[in-house]
Structure 1
């Protein structure tokens, strides 16, 4: 039986539709995302995927910030300007910084450079309460200052004190502060190096600094550097950066220095470095000790009425034949080796004015010892 043209056309149509359906099925099978063009859009929130437990590092970070952040304060300073025509005094914002609660008596620690030349200092606690602070004392040579605010209820707890003497490169470090005015900011890193030195704006050198790669930016100055136990181990004080912002190298005053200087600032308003009363010179000392083949610190000169003079120590002096008498060379203090001028200053920093120390020195190739009272 012969098919009619109508039947042939119908068969062709059916075959075409069948091929289309098969092709569409293959597309859905091989390319599931193709379904999205045909399925209705889902406007409901997506189901949340369970994250599981936090890692040990995350839990440590969270706990350190939770415990320490209430003790970190935001510092703003203002300065007075005088209109030369009207003689009116206007108080304008000068800068911002960070600090932290030291004790239950309202004392707050920060960097001296945060407050320098400020007419008014305001402290903002983490709960948004604001107080006017007074300067109790400062040691510009250490870049440390102590402020005090009124005793108020619900004062945040002081930060627990750690030690910086046993820090090791690679230890985790946590910095909390107010970079660029962004209060209560936590950054993390490690101890990158120890015993770094930097010059202050006043020309003095701060020794024994902790170097860290925890992000420190303008506004972090004066804030705490913490270890993984949440203990204070330093005060964030400076950065090394060609651009003035974080470049991976920050510095902190070690807490052992802070814990020695701050009590004196609270008690007396100033800190006096313990002194022998001698003049030393780094370059001249190196030339002398290298020539003699020894390690120590040559006494270049002695101040009148100083502990060194009272103890009978000898300084360099010119001889009649145009030569030089080297004088005494300090070898150790309380059996702590003194190899150069820096180590002498670092060793003296561990003592207080009035302390008695045993000084071992070399005179005419003979080793001697004497007890001396630091000034």
Structure 2
């Protein structure tokens, strides 16, 4: 075999590895669009006016998505577009700005999932990034791990540590997307690039991601303190036909995306994807409305929650 044939085989192997990895993780990669409050410390990097585009990936088939904290920080509204073109409003499950990781959730089930890796990375290892740079949907780039354990000073933020440095092309809009190995398993979240240094990209390693997920899970499972319904949710528009049929004046409600175990909401048999439209007869159009109304009560009080399930209006009495 001559040198040309060996080079061709090596190139074919490289191409096949990148193609296979991209095909595995691609269906789980999402585009994230936001409407942002204009006071964000990351505002200088966000597309004007007050909007942003980033990436993320589904890691749980019940609609949970990993992305960067800076992608969704101070977002007024978050929208997620799947690889198949479906678009959903998203709720914020948890955010850790110190390590730039956040978790979102959308109202969908049985979704394609990106598998989290298990093996430690090595310098020189092939890695693939999938994301939406400059709003160009589902773009694939490849490179190698250049270094591990890097630190990076981010303007307006704390110093980021223990990062993966790669020569994989990372551009605005890639943030929050997966960095995978040649088997398509996620080994990091792309987080930053140096604008004046071509060929340098940084990603959050898997150990950091798993630690954040564990903290979020522990927080959700901790006993409730104070008066709370025990739900997390997001503002969603109400179906126009449902509004007319039920003669509702409001245009939005709060869709439940999280129900804490053993919470008042779980005991009252509220379910994920129920849309709360009122508490004690007062309209609920977003999570803040529900929090305000529930906090009027004391532990042991009862509150009447009005909600939509399957297009039908229901009521339930919840003991707080």
* Structure 1 residue 241, shift from structure 2 partner: 2.0
1:270-311 deviation digits (Å, cap 9, x = unpaired): 9xxxxxxxxxxxxxxxxxxxxxxxxxxxxxxxxxxxxxxxxx
* Structure 1 residue 58, shift from structure 2 partner: 1.6
Contact 1:136 1:269 in 2 (8 A): no
Residue 258 of structure 1 aligns with which residue? 209
Corresponding position: 1:139 with 2:96 = yes
C-alpha change, 1:141 and 1:57, in structure 2 (3 Å) is same
Look up the SS of the partner of 1:256 in the other structure.
helix
Corresponding position: 1:198 with 2:152 = yes
Look up the SS of the partner of 2:60 in the other structure.
coil
Residue 297 of structure 1 aligns with which residue? none
Which of 86, 111, 121 is the equivalent residue of 1:155?
Answer: 111
Aligned counterparts of 1:168 and 1:116: Cα–Cα separation in 2: 32
Residue 120 of structure 1 aligns with which residue? 77
TM-score normalised by L of structure 1: 0.51
Number of aligned residues: 205
Q: How does 1:57-136 map to 2 (within 5 A)?
A: 57-79=14-36, 94-136=51-93
1:227-279 deviation digits (Å, cap 9, x = unpaired): 1121111100000122xxx7100000001110111232244269xxxxxxxxx
Residue 171 of structure 1 aligns with which residue? 125
* Structure 1 residue 53, shift from structure 2 partner: 12
Q: Which has the higher contact order (CA 8 A, sep 6+)?
A: 2
Bigger CA radius of gyration: 1
Contact 2:62 2:111 in 1 (8 A): no
Corresponding position: 1:183 with 2:140 = no
* Structure 1 residue 201, shift from structure 2 partner: 4.9
CA RMSD, aligned part only? 2.6
* Structure 1 residue 148, shift from structure 2 partner: 0.5
Contact 2:79 2:88 in 1 (8 A): yes
Aligned counterparts of 2:25 and 2:168: Cα–Cα separation in 1: 16
* Structure 1 residue 161, shift from structure 2 partner: 1.3
Structure 2 residue runs of 5 or longer lacking an equivalent are 1-7, 39-48, 222-320
C-alpha change, 1:68 and 1:173, in structure 2 (3 Å) is same
Corresponding position: 1:268 with 2:225 = no
Aligned counterparts of 1:187 and 1:269: Cα–Cα separation in 2: 36
C-alpha change, 1:53 and 1:80, in structure 2 (3 Å) is closer
